[in-house]
Amino acid sequence: MRSLHKSKIRELERKANEIRQDIIETLVEAGSGHTAGPLGMTDIFTAFYFHILAHDPKKPEWDGRDRLILSNGHICPVQYVTMAHAGYFPRKELLTLRKLGSRLQGHPHRSVLPGIETTSGPLGSGLSQAAGMALAARMDNQKHRIYCLTSDGEHQEGNYWEAVMFAGKERLHNLTAVVDRNNIQIDGFTEDILPLEPLRAKYEAFNWHVLEVDGHNIGAFIAAVNEAHAIYEKPTVIIAHTIPGKGVDFMENDYTWHGKPPKAEEAEVALRELREALGKLGN
């Protein structure tokens, strides 16, 4: 992974702001989709596609690429927008989100969009897919890494914990899971609906190396990924504490934005706030 300087962090922060703006505009055009999660995970997706991943947008099937698995597929607007910014497809295509015949479906579909590693939708399945890829890579003596992005809410799925147990048992050190710990799900706050804590202790009990970071501190997140690369005896999970709806004041920490898009007038307010924040970041 390339070295990280303050100027690079500032560059990534500006890119994340631009991606948030495109997420808002894309969702308004679609008239449906999820808002809170995509805005909350933007900094992490930016870090992956513009610094961490070994990947080539011009050769999305390159054998040596790292694999990024999005388990909670409903937050795919952030992946689509980030991929467009990275050069996988033209940004103008973002305005086809969720429309008939679009490659940008409401949940990622591997066979229609190059660069998408798995088809996702049913929650809890992504880590099993990622663990299988990690085991296969180890058996084939491949050096690429597997990253699985998950929601905290899908930890309420039983099949998710089967994958946690399997990865710990197999000591899949080439696997890094990233948990979007934003504390919300469609019906409310996770700790009110089906509490997850103590989440760190649960992973540690299943032989995982556990890191916790501020999911909006890009430098800290990249440092956590670097540490994961240095762990050779077990898989690593990064519990990333994020703010759902990050960057838009009236959306932040409001679970009602989990599964709805902004209306035109709401988008105007959100975009104004994001543009003002971008101006403060400077050049």
Question: Tokens 């996702």 identify what position?
Answer: 120
Instruction: Give the pLDDT of residue 31.
Output: 97
Q: What is the pLDDT of residue 2?
A: 63
Nearest-angstrom CA–CA distance, 212 and 66: 22
Q: Block means of pLDDT (10 residues each) for the chain, length 283 residues? A: 82 98 98 97 98 98 97 98 98 97 96 95 94 98 98 96 98 98 96 97 98 98 97 98 98 97 98 95 72
pLDDT at 4: 82
What value, to the nearest 5°, has the Cα angle with vertex 20 and ends 35 and 67?
A: 85
Residue 214's Cβ-count burial label (10 Å; 0-12, 13-18, 19+) is middle
Query: Which pLDDT belongs to residue 5?
Result: 85
pLDDT of residue 283: 59
| Cis peptide preceding 57, ω within 30 of 0 | no
- CA dist., res. 57 & res. 46, Å (int): 14
DSSP states along 16-63:
HHHHHHHHHHHHHHHS-S--HHHHHTHHHHHHIIIII----TT-TT-T
Task: Select from 42, 79, 51, 83 the least CA-distant residue to 180.
Answer: 42
CB 55 within 8 A of CB 62: yes
Of the candidates 257, 228, 245, the one whose C-alpha atom is nearest the C-alpha of residue 145 is: 228
- Residue 122: its pLDDT value, please? 87
pTM across the whole model? 0.97
Sign of the alpha-carbon torsion through 93, 282, 54, 79? negative
Which candidate, 211, 66, 71, places its Cα nearest to that of 129? Answer: 71
- Hey, what CATH topology would domain 6-281 get? Rossmann fold (3.40.50)
Instruction: Return the DSSP state at 189.
Output: E
